[in-house]
Structure 1
Amino acid sequence: MREGWANFWLGAKRQRAVGEAVLTALLLSGFIGLASATETGREFSLALLAPFGLGYFAMRAEVGPPPWWRRWGRDLAWGLLLLFLLNGLPFLLLSLQALFGVNFWPAYTAGFPVVLLATALVDLIGFIIWRGFLRLLSLWSHLRRRQLLWALTHAHAMLVLLAAGLVILLFDLMALASLNDVAVVVSLTMVLGVISLIALLAVIPPTAFFSYLVVRRTTARLRDLAAAAHALRQGNYTVRVPVEGEDEVAQLQADFNAMAAELERALQELKQERDTVAGLLKTQRELVAAVSHELRTPVATVRGYLEAALHRLDRGELPESLPRDLEVMEAEVLRLQKLVEDLFALACAEIGRLTLRCVPTDVGELARRLVAARAPLAWQSGRVQVVAETPPLGPLALVDPERLAQALQNLLHNGIRHTPPGGIVSVAVSQEGDEVVIQVRDTGEGIPPEELPRIWERFYQASSKLRRDGSGSGLGLALVKEWVEAMQGRVAATSVLAEGSCFTLYLPAVRAEASPSAQRQSTTPLEPVSAHTYE
């Protein structure tokens, strides 16, 4: 209904608007003429034909396409045509009455035609003013729908218009009660309407200025909030608006900032989850590829030896190399078993199911035992000297001795493999504050700087010219990192090309007030350590 009423104003074709205007003017003028009690009122009803018709046409006729001077030219042309039709009707009635001697309308005063012609110019000027006012009203309506400032100004203007309408109604009732003539009341209403319109035009500018001063701060905050909402919709999740005041708009600003912060946090978490999932998928693919490659080598070796032995047995021959072949197959099976065990340990550490028995442990004693067991083999196989630099007693660390021994075995094996003959691999133990520090140094070839950040990754093997066997799978350092971090420690590595590398383990130290029983427990002999020596 509201849309239909909005289309009524300035929405009809000019031809249709002229026809509706003529019909409306005849109906209203005829009703006033019939309701008038005096001859003057009946004569005046004919004079109202032009104002009624032009006023209705100004409300109904469409604005038309630009430019503006062409619009006004068409409006003026159609207005003159309508004025000619409506003002010509009384003269037509007079001519017919004189020609046929029939009284179509009550007798006119002698000066009525002159009065009718004189008011035509006033009607035309009124039409132009009324048409311009309606166009401004249409523009005003467009502005108030798009901006809150003009909507509030419109509300103030409507109060003035309502007051003017009540004044006109009061005067109409008083005039109708005293004059008893509808024509006079209508004319008085029109005069009062023009005066009210002039008053309204005079009141709107100061009212608009007053509204601007009152709501300027509020509308500015709302504009900032709308701009921030638009930026948030475009993807700028860091946008915020300053909270000003304590009113409803301030509460809306605070709620917007909280919503934007929550949305930004949620999106960051989603992005992190996405990156984590993407990284896991990539790691999973790399793991499958690496495991497949590592498993394929020992399986292919064992299969080759078995096929060769079976082929000779089928021919009734007992190969002389069978004992040696069985030793090779056993070594490959052991290698395969160690690889599977290491993968299982990594998987347990990743899902938090790695079994640890952390007790106060004398790290210096543990390092000395491992070095004493490893040094002869290192010197015999590669002329590499392995030494331990530890204090006589302690320090004590809260660790799982078996896992720590495995980690040190892997670091020692790495250092020996990458150190040339005549080099040194040293294990130093010290305490720094609340941490026990273990450093495994070598005088090997070193690690390139671009490869150093990746040495803790699974199956990653740094480039090296000193490997004396192909047993490395790239799991040794990954296991060291997982075990140490599972014991609430951390790892680090530094390296200089052609000088050597240093791998450092930081482990939680036992507090000085540890009980003597704990120290006695730390000297308990260790169970045999599995030498999982992967780089």
Structure 2
Amino acid sequence: MTRSARLGSARVAWRHSLRFRLALVYTLVALALVSVIGLGVMTLLLRSMDQQFQTRLEERADTLAEAFLAGRQGLGKSPGGTGTYTMIVGEDGQVLAATPSLRQYEKTPFPFTGQAVVELNGSPARTATRKLGDFGTLWVALPEDALLDARQSATSALLLALLVTPVLMLIVGWWVGRRALADLGEAADLADRIDPTRSVATLPLPAREDEVHRLLAALNRLLVRIEAVQAREKQLLGQIVHELGAPLTVLKASLARASERTGDPEVLRAALVADELTFTTQDLMQLARGQLEMKVAWHFIPAATLRGRLDRLVPGTTFTGNWNGMLLCDPDRLTQALRNLLANARRAAGPAGTVVLQLEESDQYVCFTVRDSGPGLPAELGDRIFEPFVSGSGSSGLGLSVARQIAVLHGGTLTASNASGGGAQFVLTLPGAALGDEEEGLEESQETLNSTS
């Protein structure tokens, strides 16, 4: 998966984003507050409405009782207005008189004795009574339709608020979080594009000196310290390699002369170890300098010359393909890259295993394929096997990283996989078009030199 694909999948995972979590927390807090406050306000409102209704009922009962006792108003024309039910109950429990809507109860026993709420004409009504001296009792009922409608309206409003508030709060919280964290998101995108192997850039700071500003400023200070540490590490590594270079050169030359004089197998083995150390120091030097400082010196050489170098450096390699052509490359760098691949292959295959280097050439490409009979590449490493100090065969982990850098500097690629027949397979491909152009240029230069001479 490429970096852009990883970034795209990270942006899709909105459920794990800080903006979403902040918006969700903001929504839950708002929902809790609305629920508590809404329930409290609705309880107080309904209680107040209930008290007002009860007060209205009591006042209407008092008014009707006073009017009856004073003889100023007749039953059924109460000063409390329409919508009130009244009956006069005698001492013997018989209904003496009633409002027109309750005429059916006159001259019958009173049916609602001891009931605070009764059902009248399909609606609940709350009742109150007043003594009328020796005459009897005044019974008053007031319908609760308005009170029930108010309760239902308040409940519906609260439920609507509980449903709408989370949606609105989530949208508002997401929008506010997006604006508040915009600088942090841009800084994260920029940080993902920073290549620590080239240079460590600082992150832009927002204009507001808030928590995001403090965080990015702290990250910038950390990046500066990282860059300073990397510079010191590269400087120290370069000094170490430089100190090792001169003794290794002398040792390598001495062993070469000794092997030519004596032919002792132990001396030959020591010379190979010296070669191994020399290439390791070259890898370390390349790591210390970085890819940008590696230069390519182009030469037009026979492929057989490259084969001879590699055969001497990694004995036991089987060469296949066409090695009779010419190659346009940096011989030292290409030898270093292929030698690293062959050394890793030999290390994985063991002394009794096989290592094969195949050369294929066309007008479009020059392809070197290294195969071994070892156990193959660990599946969990993947493309990380080309990172520095990552190894699947017990080596230093520098050879493959340097080999890929050399391939890239030549305009080519280096890939790794497991061969179908077992073992690992590395394919180093160089562009063939540049080779053809350079070859024609060299031929033209040679013809010019010949005509001049």
TM-score (structure 1 length as normaliser): 0.38
Larger Rg: 1
Q: Tell me which protein shows more helix as a share of its residues.
A: 1
Q: Tell me which protein shows more strand as a share of its residues.
A: 2
